Structure 1
Amino acid sequence: MKSRTLVLGVALVGCTTGIWMGARTAQARSNDVNDFLRTFSQIIDVVETKYVDEVDSADLIHGAIRGMLRTLDPHSSFLDSRSYKEMREEQRGSFSGLGIVISLRGDERLLTVISPIAGTPADRAGIRAGDVIAEIEGDETLGMGIDDALVRLRGLKGTQVSIKIRREGEIELFPFTITRDDIPTNSIQYAYMLQPGVGYIRIKNFTQTTDRELREKLEQLSDEGMEKLLLDLRWNPGGLLDQAVKVSSEFLGKGDRVVFTHGRTPRSEEEHFASTEGAWGEMPMVVLINRGSASASEIVAGAIQDHDRGVVVGETSWGKGLVQTVYSLSQNSAVALTTARYYTPSGRLIQRDYKSLEDYFSPVSDDEDPLASKDPESQLEVFYTDVGRKVFGGGGIRPDVIIKPEELPDLAETLERRSWFFEFARLYRAAHQESPDLEKFKVRPALVQEFRDFLTGTKELEFTDEEFEESADYIRRALKAEILGNFHGLEVRNRVLAEGDRQIQEALKYFNEAKRMARLRANLQDKADRASAVTN
């Protein structure tokens, strides 16, 4: 049985009597389990033969397994063959397919290409952002779910798949026969210069390739003049523990503890340290987190915070301090079982309470979150960073500086939810064959009016002048992002949106604080070195 550690997140008495009593206890436990299994088997038999509708035995058993694991904690889970394959592909950092990001968009939930991935078979074939995949191997996609579409589009490297594309402004469908190839599922979603001297890197998850990707992007941005780094871990759900350790180590000193784990078995007791001096240990950095930052991303944020290596800003993170080990089973399935709890370098357990699964998976308001209160010390256990700053255990990583995201006006939120900025960008590209210049493109009043006419005419949306004006700034920014993104790709779209991202723009104000903390950390190290020299 193979195992892999994820972070998604009794002593023997040496006497004859003790051994004999242990054997009896184990035998009794085994008999109890066998009795329960006989009952379970009888229930399966009754359901299969007597239930009002025909049932699938595999679905029944898989459902029972999932129910059993759900009684343990929110993150222990059963992976059927399909889920296990998808998880391994994501962790490996590649799969075999066409190289497109797809989604269900528009009122009819059409299977739409959000963006081709640069350099992939779909990109080379001429697939565009906004193209609708109308058919896959002769089967219409209307009503087809994303998972079903992905199964059909992916396959063995070197094999072919035939699709038909509906493109805005064209009457006939475009047929494509594309040869599948290895597609990288990059862990680094975006990496670019946010402004002169400031690099921006967004890590979307932690896979086998994360640390390698990060080193490459750091070198690239350094060559472009990076002197400070904004590391964005928002909406990062976690991944591989070893990659969280390696990513943290890039910014820490040799021997700095990154994380330690405690569990029931000796193998679950682990400590992880930075094995080398981080190549980027002196660069001022700000780490951005939010409610969607969980598990491995919390390990990174916690290590940076506990060692005073940078300023953590944003919102309180998810609070997942449980470590899963994945055990391979028969029928190409697996179980991801919680085997330990992890702790930040200062000793914080950040796992949120999960007595109620409904509450655990529901959004947490600031009123319910003790970490968001003005006086968390009165409700939570206090820990201390290397230089003596207070940090708090339980319920996630509380940022050093809380920055709330922008709240969209109702109209802007409606337009985003219905993907009408994206849809308008498709129409714009159909009418404008020439790619707009990244620096010169402006959203002028005529284009805003055209979009307004699209909403009131094509979409028959009703709104007041006041509502439109309230959303005007966001509308201009979203139109620019979607139009440039349609022509130039998702990273360009993200750059434009970053200009109006309140959390990103506020985070840029805290590099001076990061430098101040670096000086405190350096002074602490100098004192330790002098004390060591005196002792020696």
Structure 2
Amino acid sequence: MKTIVSKPKLAVLALIAAVGSISLSSVSFFDINKNLDIFGTLYKELNTLYVDTLDHEQLITAGITSMLDQIDPYTNYISEDDADDYRIQTTGKYAGIGALIGTRDNYVIITEPYEGFPAAKSGLQAGDKIIEINGKSVRAYKTDDVSKLLKGTPGSEVTLKIKRLNAEGKEDELPIKLQREEIKIRNVPYYGIVEDSIAYIRLSNFTMRAGQEVHNALQTMENSKDLKGIVLDLRGNPGGLLDEAINTANVFVNRNTEIVSVKGRLKEDSYTRRTTGDAVNTKLPMVVLANGNSASAAEIVAGSMQDLDRAVIVGQRTFGKGLVQTTKPLPYNAKIKITTAKYYIPSGRCIQAINYAERDSTGRVTRLPDSLRTAFKTKSGRVVYDGAGIEPDVITEPEKIHSLTITLYARNYIFDYATLYKATHSTISPAVKFSLTDAEYNDFVKWVANKEYKYTTQSEKILDDLKTASEKEHYFKNIQVEFDSLRQQIIHDKKQDLYKQKEQIKMFLEEEIASRYYLNSGRAEVQCRYDNDLKEAIKLLSEPARMNKILNK
């Protein structure tokens, strides 16, 4: 009988072959051979004796995934089916129409057309429902299925039929013909001059050409204005390519400056990386914005700017990912992404927060306690620490989003109201000045009054926790009268809360509405107006003495 080996099984065999090349001095060959023999025999018996037919691909893939999950979250198996998504994540490129899509009421809808690409150029708008692609109904399709239909060869045509809300509250059916292009997702979705003389650059990813995009953004602003400072916004940036972290740092520091050293088990995985090009500006005072979602390559840039005393870091402590991954090919176009090294920024510190090789008695990983962190020094002698991400020089409080605002956003009522607003308002003022009037906010309150939504305030959560704890400790009967009285006093009123949280809800509405007219640039310009971290950065840049004191200059 002919033996058929599934793709994931071949991936396992490839991993086994790779294991075979490891030196006997570093690992027990007997242990490897023993466990692989057990696995092979187990799978053979399972395949022969199990009562039902097995899905080998699903089973082996689950086994691979579970095995890698025991190591760290970053060592991953990438199947042939997922290889294209992985390529897009690292290159930022694909061929299609250039739009984010989502689902609503069994329709796939446009949630954001990318500026400068076919979707935006053809007039597609956020909120448009896709009902047909090339004459074929896509009602009730999943977003992944629609995404595949929208992608294709650059230059090829695709025809959509959409439903769009009109000013009367009804939906028009419209045909939209587009020509697919190579889409390059921008690493710098927005840059601009704020407060008349501060260069603001938002860097959201580190795919290919990230450093060049930052270079071009700063160069463009320098050519148009006498700048007094730079703000590089790395908040929410999950990282990406190590080379692009070096290239980005190179925009702000001189050629041949050490940015990172990488240390792995193998010689080829240990090296030092320096800048290789000319900087755009090494003199202007600079602030880097960071938060708990700034990770990996973003931490290399933020950390190197801190260690070299090139910039003041403002925001919250970063994520703490100091691990480097290398991608290796497997049979049948699959890949494995393996953690091969740790990186160390210029002061010599590694900012990795979790040691995945050590776990507690329950098998959970733990963060390095502050008492075990080691002190290092920046170029000017400031003390910094390893083992827990990048600690900002100026710590700010993260914005607290009220549960009502979260609910309105999650239920898509803010998105849907922006769709209605766009249908009934042909134009708005420039995004940097756009603001909803009190009357317009009242219209939103009336509109949302008929919508179904529930939320729990922080006070109600605390009371619920008190009830649970007191019942467990058998005290609740003693306090029930007082508890019920207090509960009655804090029961929230939806309409009242819509006005209590007006400024916050209004901010989200203005962002979404501005994006309908000016796309992502409009959204960013509204966000900048409300951004407390950015305001702190601008204030800091206007205080040279304070900047110099922080940087020990």
Q: CA deviation at 1:139?
A: 5.5
Where does residue 40 of structure 1 map in the other structure? 39
AA matched with 1:256: T
Q: CA deviation at 1:140?
A: 4.9
Q: Cα gap change, 1:191/1:60 in structure 2, threshold over 3 Å: closer, same or farther?
A: same
Q: Cα gap change, 1:342/1:369 in structure 2, threshold over 3 Å: closer, same or farther?
A: closer
| 1:371-450 equivalent positions in 2, closer than 5 A | 378-438=371-431, 441-450=434-443
Q: Deviations over 1:15-54 (max 9, x none)?
A: xxxxxxx999589955654554343334334444555654
AA matched with 2:184: P
Q: CA deviation at 1:472?
A: 1.0
Equivalent pairs counted in the alignment come to 490
Where does residue 303 of structure 1 map in the other structure? 304
Q: Deviations over 1:75-94 (max 9, x none)?
A: 11111123222222332232
Where does residue 530 of structure 2 map in the other structure? 500
What is the aligned-residue identity percentage? 32
Kindly indicate whether residue 103 of structure 2 is the aligned counterpart of residue 104 of structure 1: yes
Q: CA deviation at 1:167?
A: 0.8
Farther-moved stretch of structure 1 (42-51 vs 65-74): 42-51
From 103, 124, 127, the equivalent of 1:127 is 124
Q: Deviations over 1:39-71 (max 9, x none)?
A: 333433444455565443222222222222222
Q: CA deviation at 1:109?
A: 6.6
Q: Deviations over 1:474-520 (max 9, x none)?
A: 22222222222111111111211221122222222222567765699
Where does residue 114 of structure 1 map in the other structure? 111
| 1:21-60 equivalent positions in 2, closer than 5 A | 33-48=32-47, 50-51=49-50, 54-60=53-59
AA matched with 1:286: V
TM-score of the two chains, using structure 1 as the length reference? 0.83
Q: Which has the higher contact order (CA 8 A, sep 6+)?
A: 1
CA contact (8 A) 1:194 1:495 kept: no
From 165, 170, 185, the equivalent of 1:168 is 165
Cα distance in structure 2, aligned partners of 1:68 and 1:319:
24
Cα distance in structure 1, aligned partners of 2:134 and 2:364:
38
Q: Secondary structure at the match of 1:255?
A: coil
Where does residue 208 of structure 1 map in the other structure? 208
Q: Cα gap change, 1:49/1:189 in structure 2, threshold over 3 Å: closer, same or farther?
A: farther
Q: Cα gap change, 1:143/1:318 in structure 2, threshold over 3 Å: closer, same or farther?
A: farther
Cα distance in structure 2, aligned partners of 1:519 and 1:296:
27
Cα distance in structure 1, aligned partners of 2:115 and 2:498:
36
| 1:306-321 equivalent positions in 2, closer than 5 A | 306-321=307-322
Q: Deviations over 1:241-295 (max 9, x none)?
A: 1111111122123332201011111111111122345221111110011111110
Where does residue 518 of structure 2 map in the other structure? 488
AA matched with 2:387: G
Q: CA deviation at 1:201?
A: 0.9
Where does residue 258 of structure 2 map in the other structure? 257
TM-score of the two chains, using structure 2 as the length reference? 0.80
CA contact (8 A) 1:286 1:514 kept: no
Q: Secondary structure at the match of 2:331?
A: coil
CA contact (8 A) 2:263 2:269 kept: yes
The Cα RMSD (Å) is 3.2
Q: Gapped runs of 5+ residues in structure 2?
A: 1-20, 455-491
Cα distance in structure 2, aligned partners of 1:230 and 1:392:
24
Q: Secondary structure at the match of 1:212?
A: helix
Q: CA deviation at 1:215?
A: 1.2
CA contact (8 A) 2:381 2:552 kept: no
CA contact (8 A) 2:351 2:390 kept: yes
Cα distance in structure 1, aligned partners of 2:26 and 2:239:
40
Where does residue 464 of structure 2 map in the other structure? none
Q: Secondary structure at the match of 1:286?
A: strand
AA matched with 2:450: G
Q: Deviations over 1:103-157 (max 9, x none)?
A: 335xx37422122223322223221122122334555555544333322221222
Q: CA deviation at 1:313?
A: 1.1
Cα distance in structure 2, aligned partners of 1:399 and 1:125:
44
Q: Deviations over 1:415-451 (max 9, x none)?
A: 1222212210101111223454446644112211110
CA contact (8 A) 2:428 2:434 kept: no
Q: Cα gap change, 1:236/1:109 in structure 2, threshold over 3 Å: closer, same or farther?
A: farther
Q: Secondary structure at the match of 2:398?
A: coil
Q: Cα gap change, 1:449/1:520 in structure 2, threshold over 3 Å: closer, same or farther?
A: closer
Q: Cα gap change, 1:394/1:175 in structure 2, threshold over 3 Å: closer, same or farther?
A: same
Kindly indicate whether residue 91 of structure 2 is the aligned counterpart of residue 92 of structure 1: yes
AA matched with 2:528: A
Kindly indicate whether residue 187 of structure 2 is the aligned counterpart of residue 187 of structure 1: yes
CA contact (8 A) 1:320 1:396 kept: yes
Where does residue 539 of structure 2 map in the other structure? 509
Where does residue 336 of structure 1 map in the other structure? 337
Q: Cα gap change, 1:39/1:510 in structure 2, threshold over 3 Å: closer, same or farther?
A: same
Where does residue 75 of structure 1 map in the other structure? 74
Cα distance in structure 1, aligned partners of 2:412 and 2:23:
64
AA matched with 2:115: A
Q: Secondary structure at the match of 1:191?
A: strand
Q: CA deviation at 1:466?
A: 3.3
Kindly indicate whether residue 218 of structure 2 is the aligned counterpart of residue 218 of structure 1: yes
From 479, 494, 504, the equivalent of 1:474 is 504
